[in-house]
Amino acid sequence: MPEQPSAHLLHLIKLARKRARPDPRHTNSLGLRAPITSYVDVCTRHEFEKVQVPRAQAKGWPAHIDFDGLPARVQTLKSDLDRISLNPSASSFYSELKSDIDKKGKASVTSAGAQFALFERSQPGYYGERGSSIIHHCLLATYPPSSFDLDIIFPLTSTEFTQNVLLPETATRLIMDDMDADYEDAIKTLRASGKYGVTMFPSLEVDDVVDKILASDTRERLFNQEDEDWVDPDAKEAKRQKTEEKVKGKGKAKAKSNRMDTSSPPPMSDDRPRPVPRPRPVQRGKPATEMKSTPLAAVSETDSEDSSSDSELELPAAMRMQKPTAVAPAVAPKLKYMDIDSD
């Protein structure tokens, strides 16, 4: 174990113990066994603090940082950061980034593939991921995106200027104060200690320092808003009246459009073309029902031929295919002769 294990290493060991089970051995009666995913982070962190931390301490890089007091230290650098916001060319980070954009184009420099290179240049050195998160939230509270003049920080946006210029400038000045170094040496330390800081001080899922910054920034914004309302109540009343007028105007326009929609449509002109009536089909011959009801004896041969030909045209196909049934010939009724007596 390292001489002074960090709180992060002790936390990882505690988590691994919860997932382990007893596994005594001849050489270690207190041995434990756990899945490899449970202790791989412990081994990596243990090796780092046992080998890399002593080397970093030999270079003057700290193993412990007072993150609780970091927001107050960032606030003391406001005057320097104000000068950079008004004159970005005074920052070496801005000049370097602008030169790359002029040569390669902004789309190439800020693309997804180039994000790693931007991260390497803008990370805060040995302050690590946690320090980067705290510094970034402090800068957002002090310099909201609307506070920048986009013509001055061109070709960067407000977010890019805060992340890639103000953040490393803040970390450089913190390193100057920590190591009593000048600006150029502090930038060298910033670049050299970046990997050490990422491993030594990773970001936390729940950071109390960041929560305090967010809460303080919210209270300050609400207080400033209340001051503005109290100082100029006439402006507030004028703004309220203007809003009401806009709402009334929109209501009148909507009601007018509804009246126009619900009104009766205009009468149709008599000049419009009339639809042409569809002619009814003309039936040829007599229907099949009438042919069945006609006595066969009353039809002559000529008429029967004509009617049969006409009926074949009118009958459906299924009926035309049927074989004709035999029809008994008509028999004349027998007359009963009576003898009439002559006078």
* Domain range summary for the chain, segments of one domain joined by +: 7-58, 70-227
Position 310 confidence tier, pLDDT thresholds 50, 70, 90: very low
Instruction: Please state, for a pLDDT cut of 90, what percent of the chain lies above it.
Output: 37
Exposed/middle/buried for 244, CB within 10 Å: 0-12, 13-18, 19+?
Answer: exposed
Q: pLDDT, tens digit, for every residue of 102-149? A: 998 888 888 877 877 888 888 999 999 999 999 999 999 999 999 999
What pLDDT, on a 0 to 100 scale, did the predictor assign at position 75?
94
Distance CA 315, CA 327 (A): 19
Q: How far apart are CA 236 and CA 242, in angstroms?
A: 10
Omega into 155 within 30° of 0, i.e. cis? yes
pLDDT on residue 300 = 47
* Residue 162 · residue 84 · CB < 8 Å: no
* pLDDT digit string, tens, across residues 19-75: 888 888 888 888 888 888 888 888 888 888 888 899 999 999 998 999 999 999 999
Please give the model's pTM, rounded to 2 decimal places.
Answer: 0.61
The model's pLDDT over 234-285, given as tens digits with 9 standing for 90+, comes to 665 676 677 777 666 655 665 556 555 555 555 555 566 677 777 777 666 5
User: What pLDDT does 248 receive?
Assistant: 67
